[in-house]
Amino acid sequence: MRFKNYTRQRKKPIQGLRSFSDSLPKDIKKIIINKADIYSKILDNWKKIVGNDLFEACAPISFKNLKNSKVKLINISVKRGKEIDVEYSRKVIIDKINTFLGYKFVNSIKLSAYKDKQK
């Protein structure tokens, strides 16, 4: 069996199916690990970042890095009725996320409302 450099990341060939992490190129692995690390940091420390009032009203869903522009967007889900509170504190949330991470990570926030089921 011939060893192909462009298809395998391991030194020795293995028999059977390869794992997903072995089939990815090294550069893409680094990007995925970095994005997952940043997102998990934001999720774990969301209460510290936004405070108790906004913690009850909103939560981060995802973040996107738009290619053509240097805009990094974070998507936040907000309870119905609390949209105005989060809208007014949009700039504060961006500043707190950037100071928490230590560099300018987020440029803008996209809000999406959801209905609270606990009534």
Give the contacts of 60 (CB within 8 A, at least 6 positions apart): 39, 42, 43, 46, 74, 75, 76, 77
Q: Are strands 108-114 and 58-65 parallel, antiparallel or unpaired?
A: unpaired
**Structure confidence at residue 87 (pLDDT):** 92
User: Is pLDDT of 63 > 60?
Assistant: yes
Q: What is the pLDDT of residues 7-53, one digit of tens each?
A: 555 556 556 666 666 677 777 777 677 677 788 888 889 999 999 98
| Whole-Å CA distances, 102 to 5, 64, 98, 105 | 38, 19, 6, 8
Largest Cα–Cα distance in the chain?
64
Q: Name residue 108's beta-bridge partners.
A: 73
pLDDT interval class at 2 (50, 70, 90) = low
Candidate from 21-35, 69-83, 100-114 with smallest mean pLDDT: 21-35
**Structure confidence at residue 118 (pLDDT):** 63
Task: Go through the domains of the chain in sequence order and give each one's CATH number.
Answer: 23-114 (3.30.300)
